[in-house]
Amino acid sequence: MIKSMSPQEARRLIDVQGALLVDIRESEEYAHEYIEGARLMPLSVFTLLPPAGDRERTAIFYCRSGTRTRGSAATLENHGFAAAYYIEGGLIGWKKAGLPTVSRKVPLPMSRQTMMAAGVVVFVLSLLALCMPVFTWLTLLVGANLIFAGYSGICLMAKLLIRMPWNRGN
């Protein structure tokens, strides 16, 4: 059975025995903050990973809080590592223990930015349409753009958002 260990024990095992530190979160989460030296192996594609050579090592898994790791213990354990552990409290526990992480300021994923922008535009135009019916047509135009984006894969709103200052330089 996969066992828990404190962040301090994990740090020692990594430093002394060269244990493999595995971040099972998704890439968007990892992009914001991670433990230095961790290998990203998202749970969503974990069965496709890791290379056979790594299976001979001890693996220490973590997610944000430890919940996903505990809930996926059987999947992680049955992947054939020499030994498998998870960090108590995940990344949050690691930071509470005073251990370092690597943080980067990155914009929200474009899909989330697009959903937020579309929601704001539709909400505002709908409110304006209550007073001036001409705004109903603009609301319909936004909806039509979203349908077109879903069908074609070309989103005009995303093309606009990508030019925003917070999305430059990444």
Active site residues: 63
* Beta bridge pairs of residue 58: 83
| Beta strand ranges found along the chain (DSSP E) | 3-5, 20-23, 33-34, 39-40, 58-62, 83-87, 102-103
* Beta bridge pairs of residue 75: none
Secondary structure of residue 125 in the 3-state scheme: helix
**Residue 62 — φ and ψ, nearest 5°?**
-150, 155
